[in-house]
Structure 1
Amino acid sequence: MVTSAAVGGSSGRSVSDRTPRWGKPKTIGQWKRTVNGKQRKANDKWQMANGKWQMVNGEWRMANGEWRMANDKWGPAKT
């Protein structure tokens, strides 16, 4: 079930916006993130190298199949 992640509140939107708890992202271009009310495509900041996701701003990281968010929520990527 695919919904428009950019529309509506945070309650009913697609989990792909910021909480990929269902597993790995599908494609880079499919990821969208809202930053300061602006919508950013994943290619804006995301990189995929060797199957590992990293965000250059130090927020999102995927290493060894684990998601980590340094500054916001996800686990001890950076302490």
Structure 2
Amino acid sequence: MTDDEPTARELIVQIKGLRGDVTSLTEEVKRINGQVRDNRTDIAHLKAREGQIPVRNALLALSIIVSAILGVVAGAGLG
């Protein structure tokens, strides 16, 4: 063995350090995946709301029309 080759003990220390790095990276990937999931959920909710807005507007318009018709009918009945 030459002087520039690491000893078994040094290799073990390096391996343990790499294991720690891998563990840290794994946790970071899990955290990022969680954020991606949350973002996808938020996007899905926003898209669902986006689809509901025209429906709400249509229902509001329909209720105004029905109220107007009922007002005319009631006014005609009183007159």
Scaled by the length of structure 2, what TM-score is found?
A: 0.17
- Between 1 and 2, higher relative CO (CA 8 Å, sep ≥ 6) is seen in 1
Structure with higher strand content: 1
Q: Report the structure number with the largest CA radius of gyration.
A: 2
Structure with higher helix content: 2
